[in-house]
Amino acid sequence: MSERHVVIIGGGLVGSLTACYLAKRGWTVDLYEKRQDTRLQQHDGLGDNRSINLAISERGLAALRRLDPVLEARVKALAIPMHGRMIHALDGHQSSQPYDIFGKHINSVSRSALITLLLDEADSYPGVNLHFGHEFITANFDTGQVVLQEADSGGHNNSCERGRVVVDADLIVGADGAFSRVRQRMMSKVMINYSQTYIEHGYCELSMGPRNGDFAISPDHLHIWPRGSFMLIALPNLDRSFTCTLFMPWQQFDRIKSDADIVNFFRENFPDALHLMGEKSLCAEFAANPKCSLMYVKCLPHTYKNRVVILGDAAHAMVPFYGQGMNCGFEDIEVLDRIMVDTLQHANASSKRTADLSNRLLRRALDKYSAIRSVDTSAIVDLALENYIEMRAKVVDFKYLMRRFLEGL
């Protein structure tokens, strides 16, 4: 399968890591991302309605490590370890719930720093070409012909007409996120079982600045203010601020119409957080920041013949309560890589690697990947949904916590 050409659609977290993996295995990689190069832009973190920071766990780190232990170390250097949850009661009392008695932990990392690092890493492979401002339009999944639209081309691009770019690929990777167009196009071709579900809760990101030059609350924890049907969480940033996320039902968001409403809501439910965030900043951020929806996607299969595979949110978008969306997307690539390498090793006895044989091996690897991975990702999509109830309500249920503790012994 070496010296073959892969087109990756989507230069997000998963697409950029996929580029590194496939380049390492000898593929020539063209990655097309519809946005301009985010590395050249000022980040406010909210531009694409995504979290400013996220939790990277062992699942995601293992995928980085398999590619290159140095890359894992560079990501860890950008991250803040969170050793447990810190539960904030209504009266301001804080109780720490360690994640693990042996010190295993998750890590808070800036989304923009991580994507910059991964794009730089992909750029460093000689076989990788990154194309920004190129939107995937459609593909012929049997011939491997991919059609893209170049943004702002104004029709002056010599290599294509009116910004249309047509390329041929041996393999197409759809890493184009929850609303994946690659998946949509595949669905018109393949019998895909698919579901997309919005939950009745949305979220809004807020912040808590440093206090006297230091973190306002413990940086070693993922902070949770569980309030039954809604919650506030906070993850630390390297600049000693916290990114806070308010998750709650849409009806509750709708009831907040003014600065006074949001301040009263925080006074009633998160008085300690309000004190640390400050009324002025809370009002300004709540008014300015988007209120985003949450959905999850399940689909099966994730592949088409020897030609297409969808990875990351394109295959299994999930609600963020398990902190595993990106981690699971990274694991997709690791699993795919293991299967591709194994398939090739078993076939090494065959003397001559013709194009036909390469295609058959690739098909075998993709079929196996889809069969294994769709079951696992479907399970984690369910776990993510269940964890919302745990985070917003069960973390303060003593009987439930004791049962979980005893189960773990």
Residue ranges binding ligand FAD (CB under 6 A): 9-15, 32-35, 50-51, 54-55, 135-136, 175-177, 181, 203, 312-314, 320, 323-327, 329
Residue 146 vs 361, nearer CB to ligand FAD? 146
Give SS3 for 174. Answer: strand
Print burial letters for 43-62: b (CB count within 10 Å at least 16), e (below 16).
eebeeeebbbbbbbbebbbe
Q: Are 135 and 151 contacting, i.e. CB atoms less than 8 angstroms apart?
A: yes
Min. distance of Cβ 60 from ligand FAD in angstroms?
Answer: 6
Residue 1 vs 381, nearer CB to ligand FAD? 381
Residue 35 vs 353, nearer CB to ligand FAD? 35
Give SS3 for 102. Answer: coil
**Backbone phi, psi, residue 393, to 5°:** -135, -50
In terms of phi and psi (left: phi > 0; alpha: psi -120 to 50; beta: otherwise), the region of 128 is beta
Min. distance of Cβ 325 from ligand FAD in angstroms?
Answer: 2
Residue 318 vs 340, nearer CB to ligand FAD? 318
Min. distance of Cβ 397 from ligand FAD in angstroms?
Answer: 23
Tell me, what amino acid is at 121? E
Residue 2 vs 36, nearer CB to ligand FAD? 36
Min. distance of Cβ 47 from ligand FAD in angstroms?
Answer: 11
Residue 179 vs 405, nearer CB to ligand FAD? 179
DSSP, residue by residue, 339-381: HHHHHHHHTTTSS---HHHHHHHHHHHHHHHHHHHHHHHHHHH
Min. distance of Cβ 260 from ligand FAD in angstroms?
Answer: 27
